[in-house]
Structure 1
Amino acid sequence: MTIPKLAPEDLFCGFVLAGLLLALSIADLRRGILPNSLTLLLGVFGLLQSVTVGRPAPLDALIGSLGCAALLLGLAAAFRNVRGSDGLGFGDIKLGAAAGPWLGWEPIPWMLLIASALALVFILTRALWRRHLDRFEKTAFGPFLSAGIFASWASGHLY
């Protein structure tokens, strides 16, 4: 098995993406919020990547950003309507919007599937460990979204 070679601009973009996602994840775990400044920075660097590297194409980046935000906003509204409480914070929606310029629109479903699967495994593992499932316990979703974003970005750049 050979290790794929990354172009220098892909390597730089990967480090920027990983660093910002790590900072966002730490903030969400510690304080329960995704800081607007970091989320905006993530979106700006994603746009710069799209314009300079050309992956994804700028139109795909815009569609990815708007589409992911709309999808997450719709899920949040549906959850609130059914359960009467918030299931996603607005920071998660903004993080999804900032992922669009990095990914484009095509990998968004995979990104959300990865994030949701990781969150589900975490919650089930925590419940098994505690021997109790608290349906109302809040769990930061930002770290799982971040993992899904990075995995989706890397899969498009490494292979």
Structure 2
Amino acid sequence: MKSLTLVAIHVLAYGAVTLISGHHPSAPELVFAGLLIWMSTIDIVRFEIPDLAVALLVVTGVLDACAAAPSAWPDRVIGIAFWPAAFWTVAAGFRRLRGYDGLGLGDVKLVAGLAAWIGFLGMNTVVMAAAVAGAATLGAGLAARRGQSALTVQSAVAFGPFLCLSAWAVRMNGSMG
């Protein structure tokens, strides 16, 4: 039941972003949205992003790039290479400094698929918006639990949903590099 509720909330959020943007999504973009909602829901429930979903995201993103103007290719290829490397570097650095994972490898793979759809330049906006929204959510959650023992307060927030919704917003608003 929890997953169905999460899917419904996602559909409403993605629909609201779409309505606000005024963009009419194409059939491939609706597939993109479906994949984003699938990954986001699983990440919230299990703190993991399915490899199959990421693989489908990369394949559909590359197909979308093939349909785009040839001038879009360099931006997307650079994004597919750069963003996972950047996320892996952050994840490895955090693990080395703190001794535990703060950013999962699912997020590292996810940004490759998002970059296939959004491109290198558009991913700057995606990552910034996701980071701000994730930090605000984490801060609000911690503030709401003020006074509780540090042992009982969960301070982990799935980052994938923020990346996914931010990518959808960028795509719907045409802010892709």
TM-score between both structures, scaled by the size of structure 2: 0.78
The aligned counterpart of 2:94 is 79
2:165 is the alignment partner of 1:147: yes
Cα pair 1:47 1:58 within 8 Å, conserved? no
Residue identity opposite 1:60 in structure 2: D
Give the count of matched residue pairs. Answer: 154
Residue identity opposite 1:141 in structure 2: F
2:55 is the alignment partner of 1:50: no
Task: Give the whole-Å Cα distance in 2 for the aligned partners of 1:145 and 1:120.
Answer: 12
The aligned counterpart of 2:31 is 16
1:132 CA drift (Å): 5.1
Q: 2:77 aligns with which of 62, 66, 70?
A: 62
User: What is the SS of the residue equivalent to 1:106?
Assistant: helix
Cα pair 1:24 1:35 within 8 Å, conserved? yes
Deviations 1:53-81 (A, max 9, x none): 33872222111111111111111112112
The alignment's C-alpha RMSD in Å is 2.4
Percentage of identical aligned residues: 31
Q: Which runs of 5+ in 1 are unaligned?
A: none
TM-score between both structures, scaled by the size of structure 1: 0.86
1:137 CA drift (Å): 3.0
